[in-house]
Amino acid sequence: MPWPPAGCVALAVLLAACTDSPPAPAAATVRDSAGIRIVEHPAGALAELPEWRVSAEPAVSIGGSPDAADDLNEVVGGYLAPDGAIVYADGAAHEIRLHGSDGTHIRSLGRRGSGPGEFSNITSIWQRGDSTAVYDMSAKRLSVVAHDGSPPQIAVLRHTGFLTWVQGSADGRLITRRLDLDALSRVGAATVRVPEHVMVLSADGSATDTILTIPGSAFYLPSESPGWEGPASLGLGPESSLLVLGDSIVIGTNQSYELAIHDLAGRAVRIIRLAAPARSVEELDIERARQAAWEEFAPRAANMPPEIVTRFRSFLADQRYAEHFPFYGTLAADHAGNLWVQEYPDGAAGERFTIIGRDGMLVARVTLPDGLHFLAAGDGRVLGVWRDADGVQQLRVHTLTR
């Protein structure tokens, strides 16, 4: 989905002034620099944005019913198709599941295994025409699964190293990121951000081109935790966020509130900036993060040697934390091509997003119902995962009013 030419930004601003629409937030500055369109928003611009409303109750719920086909175990990705279909991956069942817009189960595709149409560790899915592209991290394999159940197309990504995240561009090429393991092995006592390499692969995975190197997650070598081996991640530390949008890659390195849109050759074509202050990490934030980390670890603790559990508890108690929160979290896009930029969660309220138009202008803010973890946005709908008091997952679709 190409981004509009630079002149569209000025035209959009002019047209907005001639309508009855609410006035735009604090004026943005738009300029060109070396062929890159830069859109800069002043401090306080977010507070002036209108709110898009998400229904408090879901319009559709999947999971938690007596129907076995409705059971959810480990949702690892999903999307809302333009025709209304709900598509998601259940990692524990090793399946891609299709539901109608009303939640009716249509078909489950795949099973556990290593053969065609089988999966062992699904980490990424996305829509590809009338099919779903599925990346299996363990098999290093991309499967394009047809929704009618016909045999999948298979591509093995043989020469890429260890990849956890893959997405597809509009022309079928694949975009991924890879942590620099050599740099990770050299991490010492000081906290550093380990580089990540952004790569573009041919559709069959046979050709690879590294187009950018960006700052990755922050790591350090802990000395306070006896028995801990290797680098540890900085708690609440910065990490880069990536989104493939048509024939563009949106990259946020979280060094400031800045998003850069690149073409598939790695050239920056647009930069969006917001003069947002860094939010300090407080002791309560650290306690919430520790509790969340333990709750994620605890279900596996019963099957681990006691010394491993003790070591992890010791690490949590001594883990190093960032002084400031990242500026944003997840990046996503709706069917209109608007960016959904997650305001970094504080653990105290529903997930919150800033909506940014394809021209770089701020559009609105959205707050999700408490407990709903965002998966995808569609035309007037939001898809997310919700858990009940017993930890049972439900996939929920809420209506969105603009």
* Residue 133 domain flag: yes
* Residue 50 domain flag: yes
How many residues in the chain? 402
pLDDT: which is higher, 22 or 207:
207
Place of tokens 């580089």: 195
Query: 105: closest CA among 95, 114, 113?
Result: 95
pLDDT tier, 24 (very low <50, low <70, confident <90, very high otherwise) = low
> pLDDT tens digit string along 193-232?
999 999 999 999 888 999 999 999 999 999 766 667 889 9
| Percentage above 90 pLDDT, the chain | 76
Average pLDDT over residues 139-150: 93
Query: 176: closest CA among 131, 217, 142, 153?
Result: 142
pLDDT at 92: 92
CA-to-CA distance for 78 and 238, rounded, in angstroms? Answer: 25
Average pLDDT over residues 153-168: 87
Average pLDDT over all residues of the chain = 90
Tokens at 114, concatenated? 């290593």
Q: Is the pLDDT of residue 239 over 60?
A: yes
Which residues, including other chains, have CB under 8 Å from residue 302's CB and lie 6 or more apart? none
Q: Is the pLDDT of residue 183 over 90?
A: yes
Tokens at 273, concatenated? 């900036």
Number of domains in the chain: 1
* Residue 292 domain flag: no
Alpha carbon 241 to chain centroid distance? Answer: 7
CA-to-CA distance for 302 and 157, rounded, in angstroms? Answer: 35
CATH of the domain at 332: 2.120.10.30
Tokens at 270, concatenated? 């647009």
Question: Packing angle between helix 283-301 and helix 306-318, nearest 10 degrees?
Answer: 170
pLDDT: which is higher, 374 or 387:
374
Tokens at 231, concatenated? 């680098």
Q: Is the pLDDT of residue 153 over 90?
A: yes
Sign of CA dihedral 245, 400, 57, 67: negative
Tokens at 264, concatenated? 């598939």
Domain that holds residue 185: 7-281+321-401
Average pLDDT over residues 23-38: 86
* Residue 243 domain flag: yes
* Residue 301 domain flag: no
* Residue 86 domain flag: yes
Sequential DSSP letters for 69-116: GG--S-EEEEEE-TTS-EEEEETTTTEEEEE-TT--EEEEE--BSSST
* Residue 331 domain flag: yes
Average pLDDT over residues 302-316: 89
C-alpha pair distances (Å), 99 with each of 133, 241, 244, 380, 397 = 17, 29, 25, 17, 12
| Least confident among 158-162, 177-181, 195-199, 211-215 | 158-162
* Residue 2 domain flag: no
